Amino acid sequence: MTEGQMALIISGISALIALSIAIAAWRSAGASRKATQAQLYSRLFEEYASPQMAEALRILKEEFEYGEGHETRDIEDDKRFHDLESLPSSSQGAHRHIKYYFIKVLRLEKAGFLPEKLMKELGAVAGIDILYDAVKWFEKDQKSISEIDEIENICGRYEDKGRPRVMS
């Protein structure tokens, strides 16, 4: 075997090793991306399950329901509901908490950090209808209204998935 042939064999082996390393790095990057997305999903779900979110959802649900049958208030006819500032401060805080949680999820999805599939999972919660029915009502900022509409287009309504209506 000549030096040229030996060099060619060594070059071929080196190329195969480099290709193997590149494939392993590509797989590792994919696994790392999935692990990061799983961690992000877990944090967002923990935030949704937090006592603060539960309290915010409870406040807005109670604000918009009344009577034994818990009929949804006709907020168009109720003079207290003409704007966000007309609500008690606890309801205003609940409004902001719910709104910014779901908008954060949407923006993470749009930026590519959260796959749409995981966003749909995060939107498959009872509180999503409160976002559409109570939070959106008070929005004056067109960008926020558009983002809430976009969330509804991606996630749908909780009640449309055969689940009980949150604000009935």
- Please give the pLDDT value at position 52: 94
Looking at the fold, whether 14 and 57 belong to one and the same domain comes out as no
Contact predicate 56/98, CB 8 Å: yes
Express each pLDDT in 43-68 by its tens digit.
998 998 999 999 998 888 887 764 44
In a domain, 42, yes or no: no
In a domain, 167, yes or no: no
- Domain span at residue 85 reads 50-161
Looking at the fold, whether 95 and 28 belong to one and the same domain comes out as no
C-alpha–C-alpha distance, residues 15 and 39, integer Å: 36
Specify burial of residue 46 (Cβ count, 10 A radius: 0-12, 13-18, 19+).
exposed
- Please give the pLDDT value at position 159: 60
C-alpha–C-alpha distance, residues 151 and 119, integer Å: 9
Looking at the fold, whether 97 and 67 belong to one and the same domain comes out as yes
- Where residue 158 falls among pLDDT bands split at 50, 70, 90? low
Express each pLDDT in 108-146 by its tens digit.
988 988 888 888 888 888 778 788 877 877 777 778 888
pLDDT at 85 over 80: no
Distant-in-sequence contacts of 146-152, Cβ < 8 A, 24+ apart: 147/103, 147/106, 147/107, 148/99, 148/102, 148/103, 150/106, 151/102, 151/103, 151/105, 151/106, 151/123
To the nearest whole number, what is the mean pLDDT of the chain? 78
Q: What is the pTM of this model?
A: 0.68
What's the number of domains the chain is made of? 2
Looking at the fold, whether 58 and 25 belong to one and the same domain comes out as no
In a domain, 72, yes or no: yes
Structure tokens at 159: 């009640």
Looking at the fold, whether 69 and 30 belong to one and the same domain comes out as no
Express each pLDDT in 63-81 by its tens digit.
776 444 445 555 555 555 5
